[in-house]
Structures are given as structure tokens and as C-alpha cells.
Amino acid sequence: MAIRRVKLTFPGELIKDPLIYQLGHQFPVVTNIRRADVTATYGWVVLELEGNEDDIRQALDWVSNLGVRVDPVEGDLIAG
């Protein structure tokens, strides 16, 4: 199993859409929100994804194609 940490940045028109929920149900990956900041017009989430590397790539391609910016995250986040 692979683990990848990414920062997802959502434009205002996607803030209310349950994209992380859908991502976890459409692709065989486990999602773990590590940090987040969401307002009425903008939002970002640091998300940890666990699963097969190909499944993770497909999930991130899917969310990116919807208009979400996907950036890799390096280093430790909240320990636990």
C-alpha cells in the first residue's frame, strides 16, 4: 500500500460539493483529512490517501479534472 499526501485547493464553486466523500467511494482509497481551511469562497485540504499507487493517481486525476488544484505535500503533518 502506498500513502500520498496532497494539498487540494478548491475554487468557490466547488466548496459545497462532497468531493472527498465521492473520491473515497469511487476509488479504492482511504482518505484522511490532516488539515483544512474552508470559507464561503475558497478552501484547501491537506489530504492523506492510502491505497494502490495507480488507484491514488486515478483518484487525483479525477478530482483535478473537476477543477481542484492538486499539489504534493512533503514532510510530517500532525503526528498521530
- Three-state SS at 15: coil
**Which CATH architecture does the domain made up of 2-72 adopt?**
2-Layer Sandwich (3.30)
Instruction: Determine the pLDDT at residue 79.
Output: 47
Query: Does residue 35 contact residue 78 with C-beta atoms inside 8 Å?
Result: yes
Q: What is the pLDDT along the chain (80 residues), one digit of tens a residue?
A: 999 999 999 999 999 999 999 999 999 999 999 999 999 888 999 999 999 999 999 999 999 999 999 999 986 555 44
Instruction: Determine the pLDDT at residue 76.
Output: 56
Which regions of 14-62 does DSSP assign to beta strands (E)?
A: 29-38, 42-51
Contacts of 66 (CB under 8 A, 6+ apart): 14, 19
Instruction: Determine the pLDDT at residue 80.
Output: 42
